[in-house]
A and B are shown apart, each in its own frame.
Chain A
């Protein structure tokens, strides 16, 4: 069942258009990876789904965000507030800053169930301890009495995940959930998210810049560049036969642990700033395959069953 269906999403901040033509869908029990470099619009996409754009002065200018059949772009702020942290959970990148340093862990997690499930604080605490337990946090009752500064980064990230799960969401958006963590801790958290998707039939959107994390966990991938979707497909297809030169470069620039001696592919140049996205295909100044048309006409992005690619000259890597 389709949990979230985003069609042709466009976002503007004043006269600047940092996001346009983004489409994707996530089913129950499925993980969608959204990948791209910093400034590609990944987090902005998450903010749009969460309805948090107005906080920073942005607005949705085109397209639809359908959650369980309901168009969120037409939702009132009050209705959105019920959804946010309720049926849609968010895990932010930096667990160090997403917890209140002055409040103990217990009340912070309890608040979610009190607010969204109309529980009493005592009921909520029972639920909190239960959730912390399923996240394999040792001594959950003891942890509730701790402050964030008394815990490690990995433990804090698990608390943030517990908060996102507390109201039993249907959709979970994880924005770079492991970027601030060590590799062994990252592996623990990824395993945890994987288990949650399977056990709870969650729909998970995993935002990351790391293609190896995508390869390990995702079912589908959306590659973004300069505020546009450039390629979409199943994880097998994207890694087996990436069609967009940007996707190919993103995969090629990761050093592989097992096979020593191979060359890293580089993408020359840098991600364009949102203030001056190039005309035509935004990737053309850095693309080895660019022709005249790429600098003039933006390529179409149309989703089909097999996937989609926004490129005038798609094809396997040379």
Chain B
């Protein structure tokens, strides 16, 4: 299986502005992240707010510039591309954003929003523009009659479908989905997830799926990366392999099942997420971890690969 996307040691350091009474402070939003995205697979990145998963998505498309590392798309090193080359390449790698309310220009009609990629890329669709819009709307399960509507006339689910249609307009091979259902109702979420699953089969798409919802990622993805404070702490090769990192275990135990017979005793995670500006010297999870040892507080654990299943922990379960 060839990799469509390869990310190596990708990092992004943000520096907060210094002022007359403030020293500049810096933090790593993404710290040494590597991942392989084989053609046709769906890889999920899961983590809580502030873990760097959305920053990772934006770094991969170079919507923000990485501080260090490498991103290879079909073998080409994206970080060596000029802005113009990058723009041309993005036709093949598109993004669906979390908030469909703000991702679509409120003054654009649905048709205009969907053809925007063609305008940006200076391209003509194969057939007539109108037919292209109708095709794309059909593809995402909307009636072509909506082409002249404005975003405010659509429901959240419909807007997200428009967002997906726009991402598909140039027939990309990679879709980066940044929490595509986080702002939708559960019933609408199920519609969008089914649509994405079907599109993946129909159009041979490869997905990088960013989410905070572990059960959704387990349902939808083939492989799972778990992030905590900018680092990958565990990479699960499939959705059935039991987690070995204590943080992943905690995430799983915090996810409830829709079945009262599967009620669990909640053991609350102690403490709070440390500030990314002031990380402890060792493992960032050590202070909250039930199995932390002295080594954990002194040394950051490397991501060690145990035949496909990688864990960054000194005392894996």
Contacts and interface: CB of A to CB of B under 8 A. Distances in A.
B48 A239 contact: no
A257 B264 CA distance: 14
A182 B220 contact: no
Contacts of A235: 260
A250 B263 contact: no
Contacts, number: 130
B290 to A, nearest CB: 13
Interface in B128-184: 155, 157-158
Contacts of A253: 186-187, 189-190
Interface stretch (B58-66, B77-85, B107-115, B209-217): B209-217
Given A215-B256, A239-B258, A38 B185 contact: yes
A235 B262 CA distance: 12
A297 interface: no
B240 interface: yes
Contact of B212 (A37, A182, A215, A257): A182
Contacts of A267: 187, 190-191
* Contact size range, A: 35 or more
Given A187-B268, A239-B260, A260 B186 contact: no
A290 interface: no
Nearest to B190: A253
Contact of A264 (B193, B240, B273): B193
A182 B219 contact: no
Interface stretch (B12-20, B246-254, B291-299): B246-254
A35 to B, nearest CB: 10
Interface stretch (A107-115, A125-133, A206-214, A299-307): A206-214
Nearest to B193: A264
A257 B257 contact: yes
Contacts of B272: 152, 154-155
Contact of B251 (A184, A211, A260): A184
Given A215-B260, A255-B215, A260-B218, A183 B191 contact: no
Contacts of B3: none
A89 B246 CA distance: 36
B156 to A, nearest CB: 8
B248 to A, nearest CB: 11
B49 interface: yes
B266 interface: yes
Contacts of A251: 258
A194 B265 CA distance: 11
B26 interface: no
A256 B260 contact: no
Interface in A179-213: 182-188, 190-192, 194, 209-213
B302 to A, nearest CB: 24
A264 B158 CA distance: 19
B186 A254 contact: yes
A154 B273 CA distance: 10
Q: Which of B250, B256, B257 has the most CB of A within 10 A?
A: B256
A265 interface: yes
Contacts of A186: 254
A204 to B, nearest CB: 16
A281 to B, nearest CB: 17
A268 interface: yes
A82 interface: no
B188 interface: yes
Contacts of B157: 270
Contacts of A38: 185
A68 B255 CA distance: 35
A263 B220 CA distance: 11
B269 interface: yes
Contact of B155 (A191, A254, A266, A270): A270
Interface string B268-279: 110011000000
B219 A183 contact: no
A187 B269 contact: yes
Interface string B189-216: 1110110000000000000000011111
A258 interface: yes
B34 interface: no
Given A154-B272, A187-B254, A270-B158, A256 B219 contact: yes
Q: Which of B213, B254, B257, B258 has the most CB of A within 10 A?
A: B258
A188 B269 contact: yes
A250 B212 contact: no
Contacts of A190: 256, 266
A38 B269 CA distance: 30
A54 interface: no
Nearest to B268: A188
Nearest to A211: B258
A103 interface: no
A315 to B, nearest CB: 20
Contacts of B49: 153, 182
Nearest to B49: A182
28 contacts: A37-B187, A152-B273, A182-B49, A183-B214, A183-B251, A184-B251, A186-B254, A187-B253, A211-B258, A212-B215, A213-B256, A215-B262, A215-B263, A216-B256, A216-B264, A239-B258, A252-B190, A254-B186, A254-B258, A255-B193, A255-B215, A255-B219, A257-B257, A258-B257, A264-B193, A264-B219, A267-B190, A270-B157
Interface of B: 48-49, 155, 157-158, 185-191, 193-194, 212-216, 218-220, 239-240, 250-264, 266, 268-269, 272-273
Interface of A: 37-38, 136, 152-155, 182-188, 190-192, 194, 209-213, 215-216, 235-236, 239, 249-258, 260, 264-268, 270-271
Q: Can you list the 8 inter-chain pairs with the closest CB atoms, starting with the nearest? A: A255-B219, A253-B190, A257-B215, A187-B254, A212-B256, A182-B48, A191-B266, A216-B256
